[in-house]
Amino acid sequence: MLKISKPIRVHKHVITVTRASTHVVAALWLIIVYVGALKGSIAGDPVQYLIEFSGKGAINLLLISLMISPIAKWLKFGQLLKFRRTTGVYSAIYALFHLYVFIRYELQFEWGLILSEIIERPYITVGFVALCMLCALMVTSPSRIKRMMSSHWQKLHNWVYPTSILTIIHFWWSLKSEWSEPLFYLVFLCILLAFRYKKFMPKTKR
Amino acid sequence: VQSPLNAITSIVAKDPMTKESVATSYNNFYEFGTSKDAPVKNAQEFKVNPWILKIDGLVESPTTIGYDDLFSKFSLEERIYRLRCVEAWSMVIPWVGFPLAKLLALAKPLSSAKYVAFETLEDPKQMPGQRSRFAGGGIDYPYVEGLRMDEALHDLSFMSVGMYGKTLPPQNGAPIRLVLPWKYGFKSIKSIVRITLTDKQPPTTWNILAPSEYGFYANVNPKVDHPRWSQARERRILGTGLRDQQRLDTLPFNGYTEVASLYKNMDLTKYY
């Protein structure tokens, strides 16, 4: 890989503005699509559309958040790390919206069925577990809580790796056929995880 | 371009009808792409005229009928049927066409014929989904379906050449498709070019792809869940708004209980 020797550093306002735009884009995108669906301007079935949009959105955001630290390391661009939390939090928000659409519009608050689907359908169980994990990561993401948790925080947040695998499995199992898309995601995720191989090696004493 | 069709209304589901704009823009037709909105985008250039539909196999007189015959050989009926997809959504659609039995009678089936096999057009030039396994959902084309002879001869088995008072749009299976209201939607094969009478149970596309999930019969049955989701209830799609839908109990045979006698003494959990 191309070696970058000089660390990159930008003015902190650039980071602030870029992070604000990330908020605006991620939030507005979701809101515009939802309002469009409510108004009936989506061709075909809006429920299916919203479920797919939010599900894939959550996966994309999660993968983006996992891309950040390898890129920051490669470019020696430490400030990039500030975007991990933003993208990670939006991944959880999209995933929550995904569940909300499923409960409100797909199963329309039939709680008995919602519960039995979560328990009995492996792909939904897996997705639900991943969502719970993402929520746990989201609520522990503020700096104040991070400080309070000290070393436990990193242990908890390392769960993002198994969680990311679960989200792809959930996507894969939800399809009737045609697995090239989740396969692409899985390969991409494996590459991202490979950058972190040291984390997954057993600790050896020196 | 769709042209208007005159038909006499014969069977009417009491349920409120699905809006035409939804039924013609939310389609499973993998030949034109696997997403629901791909067929309406990719099928508009599909050439349906001229069309040749062959009826062969165990028949006294193998028959070929052309595009114009589809609309003139039989008196056209309009039937408003519920359509239940195996994915647990449903619609209510007014089809125009004629009973399958009338079409089969043209070719005079032999008494040795026990099953009817159907085949969709295979034309990768026109159907992007047939160009590669990736584009077409892993299906080995052409799409094939089948019925037992007594199912095929049941009055509900319907050959549709139109919907909402017009000829079929390509994404809905123009120029001719099958409609079997008591079976999951994937049995209702589209854009048919060949019907073969046979003495063996014919292979069927989704059953080949995932035999544990899709059976030969595929009768709508709230008691037999799909391995990955429940079939007990369904989401009825009526319009394009998020609120234009209902949650309903799925009925045995999609409410068409008159077909139940076809399956007496059969274990429907085994023959799903």
Structure-derived torsion over alpha carbons of residues B209, B212, B214, B219, reported in degrees to the nearest 10: 160
Q: Which whole number is the average pLDDT over B205-220?
A: 96
Question: What are the backbone dihedrals phi and psi of residue B30, each rounded to the nearest 5 degrees, phi first?
Answer: -60, -20
Q: Give the pairing type, strands B144-148 and B115-120.
A: antiparallel
Question: What are the backbone dihedrals phi and psi of residue A165, each rounded to the nearest 5 degrees, phi first?
Answer: -65, -40
Strand partners, B97: B77, B160
Q: Determine whether the interchain pair A177/B210 forms a contact, defined as Cβ–Cβ distance below 8 Å.
A: yes
Question: What are the backbone dihedrals phi and psi of residue B219, each rounded to the nearest 5 degrees, phi first?
Answer: -70, 140
Question: How many residues make up chain B in this entry?
Answer: 272
Q: Over pLDDT 70: what percentage of chain B?
A: 100
A116 interaction partners in chain B (CB closer than 8 Å)? 230
Q: Is A117 on the interface with B (CB under 8 A)?
A: yes
Identity of the residue in A38, A44, A123 whose CB atom sits nearest the CB atom of B242: A38
A106 interaction partners in chain B (CB closer than 8 Å)? 235
pLDDT of residue A206: 52
B210 three-class SS: coil
Tell me: pLDDT of B232 over 90. Answer: yes
Q: Which whole number is the average pLDDT over B47-52?
A: 97
For chain B, report the end-to-end CA distance as a whole number of angstroms: 38
What type of residue is B193?
Answer: V
What type of residue is B56?
Answer: D
Question: What are the backbone dihedrals phi and psi of residue B65, each rounded to the nearest 5 degrees, phi first?
Answer: -125, 150
pLDDT of residue A3: 66
Q: Is A112 on the interface with B (CB under 8 A)?
A: no
What type of residue is B189?
Answer: I
Under a CB-based contact definition with an 8 Å cutoff, are residues A33 and A53 in contact?
Answer: yes
pTM, two decimal places:
0.86
Question: What's the number of CA atoms in the CB half-sphere (13 Å) around residue B194?
Answer: 13
Under a CB-based contact definition with an 8 Å cutoff, are residues B171 and B157 in contact?
Answer: no
Distance from CA of B53 to the nearest CA of A (A): 29
What's the Cα-to-Cα distance from A45 to each of A31, A54, A99, A154, B182, rounded to whole Å? Answer: 18, 15, 17, 41, 22
A51, closest residue in chain B (CA to CA): B242
Alpha helices in chain B (DSSP H): 20-23, 38-42, 67-72, 100-107, 149-153, 205-209
Identity of the residue in A39, A43, A121 whose CB atom sits nearest the CB atom of B229: A121
Q: Is A202 on the interface with B (CB under 8 A)?
A: no
Under a CB-based contact definition with an 8 Å cutoff, are residues B141 and B209 in contact?
Answer: no
Under a CB-based contact definition with an 8 Å cutoff, are residues A75 and A101 in contact?
Answer: no
Q: Is A122 on the interface with B (CB under 8 A)?
A: yes
Under a CB-based contact definition with an 8 Å cutoff, are residues A42 and A49 in contact?
Answer: yes
Q: Is A37 on the interface with B (CB under 8 A)?
A: yes
Range in A11-15, B170-174, B261-265 the model is least confident about: A11-15
Identity of the residue in A46, A113, A176 whose CB atom sits nearest the CB atom of B240: A46
Distance from CA of A106 to the nearest CA of B (A): 7
Rg (CA), chain A: 19
Range in A38-42, A101-105, B50-54, B107-111 the model is least confident about: A38-42
Would you give per-residue pLDDT tens digits along chain A (206 residues)? 566 678 888 898 999 999 999 999 999 999 999 999 998 888 778 898 999 999 999 999 999 999 999 999 999 998 999 899 999 999 999 999 999 999 999 999 999 999 999 999 999 999 999 999 999 999 999 999 999 999 999 999 999 999 999 999 999 999 887 788 999 999 999 999 999 988 888 776 55
Q: Chain B 37-96, CB below 8 Å of chain A: which residues?
A: 37, 40, 87, 89
Q: Determine whether the interchain pair B25/A107 forms a contact, defined as Cβ–Cβ distance below 8 Å.
A: no
Report which of B197, B179, B195, B199 is spatially closest to residue B187, judged by C-alpha positions.
B179
Q: Given pLDDT bands bounded at 50, 70 and 90, which one contains residue B240? A: confident
B20 interaction partners in chain A (CB closer than 8 Å)? none
Q: How far apart are CA B28 and CA A152, in angstroms?
A: 48
Strand partners, B53: B65
